Amino acid sequence: MKICLPVDQLNGLASEVFPNFRGAPALLVVDTETSGCQGIDSTSGACGAMPQHIDAIICAGGMGRGMFNGLRQRGVSVFNTGAITVAEALADLAAGRLEEVVEVASCGDGSHQDHEGGHAHGECGCGSHGEHGHGEHAGCGCGH
């Protein structure tokens, strides 16, 4: 199984899981059959850097509904973790302690307005605006 995780820095299995997928500076793809790791620089955007042939994503939060739905349509499972490191997240998955995400919260009905047009900071309901200090709108995928 090939599993992709957003990470802060590429340090193999000791890499720390980044708080949200979209704003991650790097992605780590782990092949659970071979224990091989492939690091991917995603500073220009995790969405474009994500490899096509993965079986699952483990993240610690923030993923937009559009990305989530696209992954699910491709048969990619999404799991959420509270683990600090990639090794801990993989151990939790192997032990059955991670639940597969079947739906993500979204901003209303998808008809988003910008901040000047009606949404004050953090009012869209996605809960991911600037929580982790990686840019005002990093990680939520809602467009605000």
pLDDT digits (tens, 9 = 90+) for 42-82: 887 777 787 889 999 998 877 888 888 888 999 999 999 99
Q: Please tell me whether residue 80 adopts helix, strand or coil conformation.
A: strand
Number of domains in the chain: 1
Q: Does 40 fall in a domain?
A: yes
- Tell me what pLDDT residue 108 has: 38
Distances (CA, A) of 82 to 74, 99, 102, 110, 125: 25, 11, 17, 28, 21
pLDDT beneath 50, residues of the chain? 107-144
Q: Does 140 fall in a domain?
A: no
Q: Does 45 fall in a domain?
A: yes
Q: Does 109 fall in a domain?
A: no
Q: Does 130 fall in a domain?
A: no
Q: Does 18 fall in a domain?
A: yes
- Tell me what pLDDT residue 105 has: 66
The CATH number assigned to the domain holding 75 equals 3.30.420.130
Q: Does 19 fall in a domain?
A: yes
Domain residues for 44?
2-94
Under 8 Å between Cβ of 128 and 62:
yes
Residues 6+ apart with CB under 8 A from 29: 2, 3, 4, 5, 37, 38, 39, 40, 51, 54
State the burial class of residue 16 (Cβ atoms within 10 Å of its Cβ: 0-12, 13-18, 19+). Answer: middle
- Tell me what pLDDT residue 74 has: 92
Which residues are 27's β-sheet partners?
6, 40
